[in-house]
């Protein structure tokens, strides 16, 4: 029996259509949870990246900047900076008597950076890929939801149309009372599929744009940092 109202309409649906709607509801809830989570993650990443880049432009102490960068865990640029600096001058590198004994034979940080530029380029590439992978986490679910939920809704639509024709066959007439429940069931499934898919697709494309923008910013910083690494290390001073 066909009933009006959202709950009444849901109660009048067949078992298969109810399962379809529950699946779509689950996809929608998870998608919105990921959308909100990633929005907060990207916002924090951008804020910390701006904070690090500002600190980098004003840096007067390389070791202090490295400590600050370690605290900015969500900043991709800070991750690149720490990764490069740790390979040039590890913080636990020789100190005291051991450092004094090796001091005469140890290369300066700037000289080591110049000699290891191809290696540092690979380090930056690996760190950047890791940061991009981190930012892409859970986005595959949004892509999956955007791709398959319309088809799940279409499946519910087909079931609703089948039910409508079955009811016509039972009653031997095509009046509105016989057709309306099945058509309503079909349209509800279609609407639910679109409701789950549209936000997921929009968010997925938007976050991909954010990732590309972040990657460009980090690549620009990395190129500038590596090109000026020798002079920067000498200017701010880093323990070797």
Reported as a single tens digit per residue, the pLDDT across 156-200 is: 888 878 777 776 777 666 666 666 666 777 788 888 999 999 999
In a domain, 1, yes or no: no
In a domain, 5, yes or no: no
In a domain, 187, yes or no: yes
In a domain, 6, yes or no: no
Q: Say if residue 16's pLDDT is above 50.
A: yes
Whether pTM exceeds 0.95: no
Which candidate, 158, 115, 110, 139, places its Cα nearest to that of 203?
139
Q: Which residues contact 236 (CB under 8 A, 6 or more apart)?
A: 59, 60, 61, 62, 65
In a domain, 8, yes or no: no
Domain count, the chain: 1
Which whole number is the average pLDDT over 128-147?
94
Tell me the two tokens of residue 235: 């200017």
**Structural domain for 35, as ranges:** 14-236
Mean pLDDT of the chain: 79
């Amino acid at each position: 029996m066909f009933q009006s109202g959202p709950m009444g309409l849901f109660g009048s649906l067949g078992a298969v259509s109810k399962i379809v709607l529950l699946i779509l509801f689950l996809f929608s809830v998870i998608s919105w949870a990921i959308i909100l989570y990633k929005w907060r993650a990207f916002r924090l990443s951008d804020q910390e990246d701006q904070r690090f880049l500002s600190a980098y432009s004003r840096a007067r102490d390389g070791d202090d900047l490295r400590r600050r960068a370690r605290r900015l865990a969500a900043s991709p640029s800070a991750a690149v900076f720490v990764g490069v600096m740790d390979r040039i001058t590890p913080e636990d590198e020789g100190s005291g008597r051991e450092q004094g004994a090796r001091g005469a034979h140890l290369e300066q940080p700037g000289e080591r950076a110049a000699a290891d530029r191809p290696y540092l380029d690979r380090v930056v590439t690996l760190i950047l890929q890791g940061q991009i992978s981190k930012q892409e986490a859970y986005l595959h679910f949004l892509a999956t939801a955007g791709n398959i939920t319309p088809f799940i809704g279409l499946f519910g639509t087909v079931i609703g149309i089948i039910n409508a024709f079955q009811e016509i066959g039972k009653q031997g007439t095509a009046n509105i009372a016989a057709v309306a429940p099945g058509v309503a069931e079909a349209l509800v499934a279609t609407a639910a599929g679109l409701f789950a898919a549209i936000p997921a697709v929009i968010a997925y494309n938007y976050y991909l744009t954010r990732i590309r923008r972040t990657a460009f910013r980090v690549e620009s910083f990395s190129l500038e940092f590596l090109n000026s690494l020798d002079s920067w290390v000498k200017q701010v001073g880093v323990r070797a």
